[in-house]
């Protein structure tokens, strides 16, 4: 059987449709902002580059995207040096403490801090690197057993201790709601995150600028509920699983 997957073609196709996808998404962002009475520049598109090769990231950067996200430190460490352009990277995945040192080097924000222990380790590594690391606190807003993220009550209880870590700068909250084909199902979780941010601001006595919420399927609803960072992969770059399956099928047929 022939190989289905040829990375040159994939990247070429991707470049063709990438410009269209960016334009469509930007229009949707602007329209959602307008519905919500928000300024269009109050929302930043973060391109989720996980599983995408560096060529695709470089193509996206050439089309004007500047902010990218990765969910695995290992993958980011290999990929980031191969991407050209002036790119900024956020970490959006589950972070293990033995990866904190690399994460501090690679990323300009860690969006997925979900325990005091992890925060303390990041603080230590940031100190060693003479850096201050902006972070978001990840919240498991729906209380799903299988998901990472702070339970809201626990976050409120630990917030002052988190805020006391001198090398971390808490800039807001992040959440991944339960997957659903209906974007409206995400709305209560986004609303909960917005309300939780207000509670955090009261505790800290300072405003928190960011709410990172909304992915390909529900970013418009997230913007209506106050998102400042929308993390979009599939709607920009196409489906990840299908590409992987095709690649795997191609490899399997060779053996
Ligand atoms: C993969 C991922 C995204 C992007 O999801 P899409 O549905 O492909 O847009 C956003 N946030 C996190 C944390 C992710 O892991």
CATH number of the structural domain spanning residue 24 = 3.20.20.10
Domain span at 82: 11-236
pLDDT, tens digit (0-9, with 9 covering 90-100), for 65-122 = 999 999 999 999 999 999 987 899 999 999 999 999 999 999 999 999 999 999 999 9
In a domain, residue 213? The reply is: yes
Q: How many domains does the chain have?
A: 1
Among protein residues, the one with the nearest Cα to ligand 1's atom 6 is 233
For residue 147, the model assigns a pLDDT of 86
Q: Strand locations in the chain, DSSP E?
A: 44-48, 67-70, 88-91, 109-113, 133-139, 168-175, 210-212, 229-232
Which atom, in ligand 1's list, is nearest to the CA of 174? Answer: 13
In a domain, residue 181? The reply is: yes
In a domain, residue 231? The reply is: yes
Closest to 193 measured CA to CA, from 170, 219, 175: 175
pTM for the complete prediction? 0.90
Q: H-helix or E-strand containing 158?
A: helix 152-163
In a domain, residue 97? The reply is: yes
Q: Ligand 1 centre from 1 Cα, in Å?
A: 33
In a domain, residue 247? The reply is: no
Q: Tell me the best of 189, 193, 215, 239 to mutate to test the pocket of ligand 1, counting ligand atoms within 8 Å of each CB and taking the most.
A: 215
CA distance 44 to 60: 15
Residue 69 tokens read as 């996200």
pLDDT, tens digit (0-9, with 9 covering 90-100), for 178-208 = 999 999 999 999 999 999 999 999 999 999 9
In a domain, residue 114? The reply is: yes
In a domain, residue 171? The reply is: yes
In a domain, residue 241? The reply is: no
Which atom, in ligand 1's list, is nearest to the CA of 216? Answer: 9
CA distance 172 to 138: 9
């Amino acid at each position: 059987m022939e190989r289905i997957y040829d990375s040159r073609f994939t990247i070429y196709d991707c470049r063709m449709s990438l410009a269209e996808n960016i334009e469509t998404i930007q229009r949707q962002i602007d329209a959602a902002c307008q519905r919500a009475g928000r300024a269009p520049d109050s929302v930043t598109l973060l391109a989720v580059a996980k599983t995408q090769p560096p060529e695709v990231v470089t193509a996206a950067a050439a089309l004007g995207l500047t902010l990218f996200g990765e969910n695995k430190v290992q993958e980011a460490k290999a990929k980031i040096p191969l991407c050209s352009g002036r790119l900024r990277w956020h970490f959006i995945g589950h972070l293990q403490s033995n990866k904190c040192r690399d994460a501090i080097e690679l990323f300009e924000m860690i969006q997925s801090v979900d325990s005091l222990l992890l925060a303390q380790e990041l603080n230590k590594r940031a100190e060693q690197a003479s850096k201050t690391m902006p972070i978001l606190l990840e919240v498991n807003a729906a209380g799903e057993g299988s998901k990472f993220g702070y339970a809201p009550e626990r976050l409120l209880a630990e917030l002052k201790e988190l805020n006391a870590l001198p090398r971390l700068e808490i800039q807001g909250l992040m959440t991944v709601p339960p997957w659903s084909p209906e974007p409206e199902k995400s709305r209560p979780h986004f609303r909960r995150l917005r309300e939780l941010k207000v509670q955090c601001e009261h505790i800290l006595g300072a405003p928190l600028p960011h709410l990172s919420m909304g992915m390909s399927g529900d970013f418009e609803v997230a913007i209506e509920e106050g998102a400042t960072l929308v993390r979009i992969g599939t709607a920009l770059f196409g489906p990840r699983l299908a590409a992987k399956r095709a690649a795997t099928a191609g490899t399997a047929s060779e053996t």
